[in-house]
Amino acid sequence: EISPAARRSAELEAEITADPSRFRVLTGDRPTGPLHLGHYFGTLHNRVRLQRQGVELGLVIADYQVLTDRDVAEDLEGHVITLIADYLAAGVDPDEAMIFTHSAVTALNQLLLPFLSLVTVPELQRNPTVKDEIAHSRQSGVSGLMFTYPAHQAADILFCRANLVPVGSDQLPHLELTRTIARRFNDRYGPVFPEPEALLSAAPLLLGTDGAKMSKSRGNAIMLGSSSQETARLIRGAKTDAQRHITYEPGTRPEVSSLVLLGALCSGRDPVELAGSIGSGGAAVLKAEVTEAVNACFAPLRARRAELLADPGYLHQVLREGNARAEERAEATLARVREAMGTVYG
């Protein structure tokens, strides 16, 4: 069964191929740690591919969002620089992409105020991703930012008038809110914003070694930058199930199927075919094959990443340039917003 979001993504792919110049991408990550394989197959790979197809690419490093589920943001600068290394190692072209931290772009943040006026408190409260994040939160209480960050994310996307957002499926409720905000703003004040759409990949929810969503903050992730040995150790410890025979059945065997999918994505094979070829070999053979596929697939990226991290001055420069470009864009959009809202006085 194919979800409406996946069906729409397939249509979008055809539209992008027909005319990439119609699209502008904005997506990003929280600087809470290095990127993992879930990021890569959920969104990063799509970002690189879209950029190579000629789509304009903006990447927000959502530093304020770190504070949604914890009281203190640790080593922000280190995490920000590591994210940039991950992007570039994956193939993002920094000369074409706009890579920025949203805290540095003041005009972007100002959009949050009118945007908050366009959503109701119940709309913010019933967001299923926010509920899940509250359940895993390390914060002493649930802050106002936890409920309002999806509206801030609308500012991240809309300030540069992006219309395409490659994300994992956890982001779909947030994207729906962004569309609502854009629509309501346009209805109330006149047409300013596009209504952006989500673009899902073939792996919109890769599971971690514990069977839950692979996540930077949950200690269940295989990082892009993990060593071969570390990768082998993590996959060896991954949760499977009691059935010996390996099959690809995401609905009923999520853990095994996510491993199969990971191996398939890394080796360019079909997951059903890969599972069938392992069959009665069981989890041990599956894990050995997935480990080998991951390590072979990511060896070049890992080498580039190490080189990039050896030159933090360059990574800082990429960020400075991206922040400057984002500020220009945000000022231009804020001017249009002020005009539309009638807050330009004399």
What does the binding site for ligand ATP look like in residue numbers (CB under 6 A)? 27, 29-30, 32, 38-39, 42-43, 167-168, 170-171, 203-206, 213-217
Distance between CA 188 and CA 319 in Å, rounded?
A: 35
Please, what is the minimum distance in Å from the beta carbon of residue 307 to ligand ATP?
24
In terms of Cβ atoms closer than 10 Å to its own Cβ (0-12, 13-18, 19+), residue 60 is buried
Please, what is the minimum distance in Å from the beta carbon of residue 205 to ligand ATP?
5
The CB-nearest residue to ligand ATP is: 42
Nearer Cβ to ligand ATP (35/334):
35
Largest alpha-carbon pair distance within the chain? 77
Report long-range pairs for 279-282 (Cβ below 8 Å, ≥24 apart).
279/245, 279/246, 280/244, 280/245, 280/246, 281/246, 282/244, 282/245, 282/246
Nearer Cβ to ligand ATP (104/157):
157
Distance between CA 296 and CA 302 in Å, rounded?
A: 10
Nearer Cβ to ligand ATP (162/337):
162
Nearer Cβ to ligand ATP (159/185):
159
Please, what is the minimum distance in Å from the beta carbon of residue 123 to ligand ATP?
20
Nearer Cβ to ligand ATP (64/314):
64
Please, what is the minimum distance in Å from the beta carbon of residue 277 to ligand ATP?
25
Please, what is the minimum distance in Å from the beta carbon of residue 135 to ligand ATP?
13
Nearer Cβ to ligand ATP (110/220):
220
Please, what is the minimum distance in Å from the beta carbon of residue 196 to ligand ATP?
13
Angle at 258 between CA 257 and CA 259, to 5 degrees: 90
Question: What stretches of the chain adopt beta strand conformation (E)?
Answer: 24-29, 56-61, 98-101, 164-166, 197-199
